[in-house]
Structure 1
């Protein structure tokens, strides 16, 4: 049965960007492999009074949270590329020797190529060129995911003996946000401070570029439960906990993608799985 390989940067990204789609496909029995580049070791720690005491094992905690979230969504196959979280752009974590941001592009792509050739999906998802909001690891998911999509069929760069038999994936989609929806949510959260948004880096892509749009309102309850499994990620005042239900529906109930490669006669490659 044709399946999906969904590539992400950190634990929680899978649920935020496309948790509704993952739940829908899992319910239909579609084979799904989630690949996460890092374990989110450099993130903030919320809802833990012992935050600094557990810092050294944050990756282990975040992995457990991601496995719990995927269980809510109905997914078992989770892989890690094994890189260290790079932190936000401009921080010292960018220079960590094992950070995903510092990874050699083709070496990292090769790790993902091996998985693609093993599971042989029909659709691969990565992120848009800006990684949604400019996080180094998200940008690297775009670069590595796109390179691996094409590299999976290239035995010249990724020989069969080292990386497995080649596989031509049918469709590549970049998961992103509607810039208009994201800006609306930020305005709602800021209230009187909304004017500050104009000076910030944009989130997502303008709607004109979004070629695959998915209504996942029917799966929003599970998507939100999956998100809340990532307890150390979301403070009490975070948007996922604080947004009113109508805005949650508007923002999280729609998942959007930029089609990069695939049969244009298929309007929704994910829905066709």
Structure 2
């Protein structure tokens, strides 16, 4: 049975670009809060139609063939949410409203816009129109906490960057009583976080991978060199150590995204060996609100801290 998010005293809403982003980024946090009876709502901005397909027998779903990947990933997302215990997940503006924009890799190792994009691509969306879809959800769910990407979308993907813009703009518009009264009663989100990776933990993870003989995962990235996708530890405000059960749920959710994530190879073998040390711990930067009580490392251990 689907639980109405507004019935929960504490409510978290996450805005992600494609199916699988949520499980990789905040799957453990989502599983922990869902298990605790807190409200968890996921808004996914596209169906990930342009994603790379890692399952050979499903290659026919590619955008340049039958273009059926989006519908397939819709099912993968539903399966992943079942693993996390999340019952409220939506597509921004409804399924199919915005299309995956695609991307290509820059020589410096981050994502940039593809050479060509569909007219329905999320990166091309009118910002106010897209934000209004989210305003309606924010005013309905009324979350105290919102999670999305930083201004770079973590690694430069145009859809991640657009998701950041839409989430940040919508959170402002939703709080204005006179703005679009037809979209519901005004609501101000108390705290906004940007999902982050700890630079020190990323370096240690890379060292372990290289020591285990994995030279292809994050190929070319030196554990002692620049790591643009990770945040300096001094920029972090919160860490959720969700525990082994939530870590297992996160791993199961990632397996559900089978077209996008492979659990074979030394990366996942190493991950399985050290379990929630990698997958059950998720970091955040605070973009709005006041940091609540912190642990000995100076980080909040609960995104609702202080509320």
Structure 2 stretches lacking a partner, 5+ long = 1-8, 104-111, 295-299
TM-score, normalization: structure 1?
A: 0.89
* RMSD over aligned Cα atoms: 2.5
Given that 1:177 and 1:205 are in contact with CA atoms closer than 8 Å, whether structure 2 keeps it comes out as: yes
Q: Which residue of 2 aligns with 1:90?
A: 113
Please state if 1:24 is matched with 2:36.
no
Given that 1:234 and 1:240 are in contact with CA atoms closer than 8 Å, whether structure 2 keeps it comes out as: no
Deviation at 1:12, TM superposition (A): 0.7
Deviates more, 1:139-148 or 1:9-18: 139-148
Deviation at 1:83, TM superposition (A): 1.2
Deviation at 1:270, TM superposition (A): 2.4
Q: Which residue of 1 aligns with 2:252?
A: 225
Deviation at 1:86, TM superposition (A): 1.2
Q: Which residue of 1 aligns with 2:147?
A: 125
Deviation at 1:243, TM superposition (A): 3.4
Please state if 1:5 is matched with 2:13.
yes
Q: Which residue of 2 aligns with 1:159?
A: 180
Deviation at 1:185, TM superposition (A): 3.3
Q: How does 1:161-200 map to 2 (within 5 A)?
A: 161=182, 163-189=183-209, 191=214, 196-198=220-222
Greater relative contact order structure (CA < 8 Å, 6+ sep): 1
When residues 186 and 61 of structure 1 are mapped into structure 2, their CA distance, relative to the original with a 3 A threshold, is farther
When residues 53 and 85 of structure 1 are mapped into structure 2, their CA distance, relative to the original with a 3 A threshold, is closer
Q: Within 2, Cα distance between the matches of 1:126 and 1:113?
A: 15
Deviation at 1:249, TM superposition (A): 3.4
Q: Within 1, Cα distance between the matches of 2:274 and 2:155?
A: 20
Q: How does 1:1-273 map to 2 (within 5 A)?
A: 1-53=9-61, 55=63, 56-81=67-92, 82-88=97-103, 89-93=112-116, 95-156=117-178, 158-161=179-182, 163-189=183-209, 191=214, 196-198=220-222, 202-218=228-244, 219-235=246-262, 237=264, 241-246=268-273, 249-267=276-294, 268=300, 270-272=303-305
SS at match of 1:245: helix
- CA deviation string 1:213-239 (max 9, x = no partner): 111232211110111000111235467
Given that 1:182 and 1:251 are in contact with CA atoms closer than 8 Å, whether structure 2 keeps it comes out as: no
Deviation at 1:263, TM superposition (A): 3.2
Given that 2:237 and 2:291 are in contact with CA atoms closer than 8 Å, whether structure 1 keeps it comes out as: no
More helix by share: 1
Q: Within 2, Cα distance between the matches of 1:97 and 1:200?
A: 35
Deviation at 1:8, TM superposition (A): 0.7
Q: How many residues align?
A: 270
When residues 223 and 12 of structure 1 are mapped into structure 2, their CA distance, relative to the original with a 3 A threshold, is same
SS at match of 1:79: strand
TM-score, normalization: structure 2?
A: 0.79
Deviation at 1:50, TM superposition (A): 3.7
Structure 1 stretches lacking a partner, 5+ long = none
Deviation at 1:53, TM superposition (A): 4.6
Deviation at 1:124, TM superposition (A): 0.8
